[in-house]
Chains A and B, each alone.
Chain A
């Protein structure tokens, strides 16, 4: 903006300055032209003066000659003016011409020739007069007839004619020069005026453009202010209002009307403390909030506020101090949101969380109780069955002993189920500690344990050296324990057990897997695979509780991951799992 206005000023000053300079030049030229013109006039007059004087001189000489002839004819003395006067008049003529042509050496030289000729002519005329007076008419007439003095007079006339010619040539020369100069000046004046006009036009254009630009900027500003006004007045979800520095309401929008219930005309100018509950006003809260906002620039508060009809709502309020560029407090901006619904939602959430917490607590107590109280009777069943077997061995037949054995096996199995359930419950509520874990050494350890448990089995277990994941080390060990013992269990009837642990890329994710060449299963029943107490094989084929895979799935889910299986009956099974980025509950 500043730069643009500078550009505008520069352009305007340049154009106007150039136009002014051109006009000044034109003026100067005109002035000089006038002066020159006057000069030329003077020269013309001068030339005429010179010519007049020369003519006057000739006329004077002719007058003298006429007078002399008249005297010769009449011998009347009145024709004879004093000789002195004639020669003085001629001298004056000559002097005048000399003065006028002082700057012209050629004319001066001609004048020096003229002087003796005039003097000699005057002498000749004097001589004729003297002859008439002394020897009479005949002698004087014969002298005139002999042409006495005609020769001098011719010479004089010729010289004067030359001088006049010279003077006229000079005049012509000067007039020609003046003509040329005048033409040039006229051309310059035309050009100068054209230039001035051009730059005046440019200046006009610049002004016009600038006016257009300013008009557009003003238009844009007005439009933006209009938009802003519409935005503020139109917003319905927020009460947006301005307070003057004393806290009186200075502006009001639709949101304010909706939330607080006042029309603009009934609230403008009122103090904003009417929005606060009476006890808050008594405690001076409105003033306190303005004070804090003025001091710190802004204050945010949540609390109860009062509508026009006296009902209360839970509000989030932000008051911002508005200062002008000199830092003077001009008022406050106040934005209020009705948070009543959110607050009740939060309260609901808190209630639900408390209920959930209570339910979890109950579950904990329940599993604790299960762990204690359900096992005790099982111990008794097993223990006393054994006591009967031992103490009454002789009184029992084979069938009785078998039944007691069955009771013991069933009790043991129930113990396993209880332990599995407790484990699952424990995993569900255990906290997850995420760290970098290499699955490879964990798998190696478990594989070694499995092989050691049944050293007679022929088995190859392939585990690559580097299987990094991010997860809870203990829980991931449980995952591998379950998957590997499953693989170990379901390959027990193969002549050679093949188990492979590995990983492969699947898009951005890394998939880990445990593959075996065991009994496999029908994919039709795959949906039951991860259910608690769900089993795809009969207990007498492959023993188990049906909790292991449920536990594995629970752990993978708690890591935000996914587990699935691919298998076919008699062709082994592969369990795949992906660990997520974020833990989940």
Chain B
């Protein structure tokens, strides 16, 4: 039923592969767009740079955001998303290794919808991804995408 893609913003190839494996294992068949740093992520979201001319009516159903990224870090990506009308209501799940208090406060403070620490054990990780998919792709009803923005 879900046709919108999932935007995975992740610079670590291992984590990317494992996340994709976990999604596949849980039969989540949405298109997965992978951005490997903050610049790529923003290019996709705002149809700029390598993604110039992209159909902007197709926005991700959910954004899985790592915090530690080259060039532009995760919190800055989040800040710019929330500052832009087209993206300011998109669901963003921070998916990170860190459970530092400061990151949690900053993440929620910038308008993250959820914060999940990647479990170390892959079985637990796969379970977390399953629940995330269930919730954000099936259960959660997103805000309508603003038109003509």
Please report the C-alpha to C-alpha distance between residue A269 and residue B105 in the assembled complex, in whole angstroms: 68
Min Cβ gap A379→B in Å is 5
Say yes or no: A375-B18 contact (C-beta < 8 A), given A368-B98, A368-B100, A383-B125.
no
Does B14 lie at the interface of the complex (its beta carbon under 8 Å from any beta carbon of A)? yes
Does B26 lie at the interface of the complex (its beta carbon under 8 Å from any beta carbon of A)? no
Chain A residue contacts of B125, Cβ below 8 A: 379, 383
Chain A residue contacts of B121, Cβ below 8 A: 382, 408, 412, 415
Does A485 lie at the interface of the complex (its beta carbon under 8 Å from any beta carbon of B)? no
Is there an interface contact between B120 and A384, defined as CB atoms closer than 8 Å? no
Say yes or no: A376-B122 contact (C-beta < 8 A), given A368-B98, A371-B98, A371-B100.
no
Q: Which of B17, B97, B101 contacts A375 (CB 8 A)?
A: B97
Chain B residue contacts of A141, Cβ below 8 A: none
Which A residue's beta carbon lies closest to that of B19? A383
Min Cβ gap A364→B in Å is 9
Is there an interface contact between B21 and A383, defined as CB atoms closer than 8 Å? yes
Please report the C-alpha to C-alpha distance between residue A383 and residue B99 in the assembled complex, in whole angstroms: 20
Chain A residue contacts of B101, Cβ below 8 A: 426
Is there an interface contact between B15 and A375, defined as CB atoms closer than 8 Å? no
Please report the C-alpha to C-alpha distance between residue A410 and residue B78 in the assembled complex, in whole angstroms: 35
Is there an interface contact between A379 and B100, defined as CB atoms closer than 8 Å? no
Q: Which of A368, A371, A376, A426 contacts B15 (CB 8 A)?
A: A376
Interface string of B1-43 (1 = CB under 8 A from A): 0000000000010110110010000000000000000000000
Which B residue's beta carbon lies closest to that of A378? B120
Does A411 lie at the interface of the complex (its beta carbon under 8 Å from any beta carbon of B)? yes
Number of A-B contacts (CB under 8 A): 57
* Chain A: number of interface residues, binned into ranges: 20 to 34
A419-437 contacts to B (CB < 8 Å): 426
Please report the C-alpha to C-alpha distance between residue A426 and residue B21 in the assembled complex, in whole angstroms: 33
Does A387 lie at the interface of the complex (its beta carbon under 8 Å from any beta carbon of B)? yes
B96-129 contacts to A (CB < 8 Å): 96-101, 118, 120-123, 125
Chain B residue contacts of A415, Cβ below 8 A: 120-121
Is there an interface contact between A387 and B120, defined as CB atoms closer than 8 Å? no
Does A372 lie at the interface of the complex (its beta carbon under 8 Å from any beta carbon of B)? yes
Min Cβ gap B129→A in Å is 11
Say yes or no: A376-B18 contact (C-beta < 8 A), given A382-B121, A382-B122, A412-B121.
no
Which B residue's beta carbon lies closest to that of A430? B101
Interface string of B68-98 (1 = CB under 8 A from A): 1000000000000000000000000000111
Most buried by B among A378, A380, A383: A383
Chain B residue contacts of A371, Cβ below 8 A: 97-100
Is there an interface contact between B123 and A379, defined as CB atoms closer than 8 Å? no
Is there an interface contact between B18 and A379, defined as CB atoms closer than 8 Å? yes
Is there an interface contact between B68 and A372, defined as CB atoms closer than 8 Å? yes
Chain B residue contacts of A16, Cβ below 8 A: none
Does A292 lie at the interface of the complex (its beta carbon under 8 Å from any beta carbon of B)? no
Most buried by A among B96, B122, B123: B122
Does A207 lie at the interface of the complex (its beta carbon under 8 Å from any beta carbon of B)? no
Chain B residue contacts of A383, Cβ below 8 A: 14, 17-18, 21, 122, 125
Q: Which of B98, B99, B120 contacts A379 (CB 8 A)?
A: B120
Chain A residue contacts of B14, Cβ below 8 A: 376-377, 379-380, 383-384
Interface string of A382-404 (1 = CB under 8 A from B): 11101100000000000000000
16 other A-B residue contacts (CB within 8 Å) besides A377-B14, A380-B15: A371-B99, A372-B98, A373-B68, A375-B118, A376-B12, A376-B97, A379-B18, A379-B120, A379-B125, A382-B121, A383-B122, A384-B18, A387-B122, A408-B121, A415-B120, A426-B101
Sample 18 A-B pairs with CB under 8 A, ordered by A number: A371-B97, A371-B100, A372-B98, A373-B68, A375-B97, A375-B120, A376-B97, A377-B14, A379-B18, A379-B97, A379-B125, A380-B15, A380-B18, A382-B120, A382-B121, A383-B17, A383-B125, A384-B18
4 smallest beta-carbon distances between A and B, as pairs = A380-B14, A383-B122, A415-B120, A383-B18
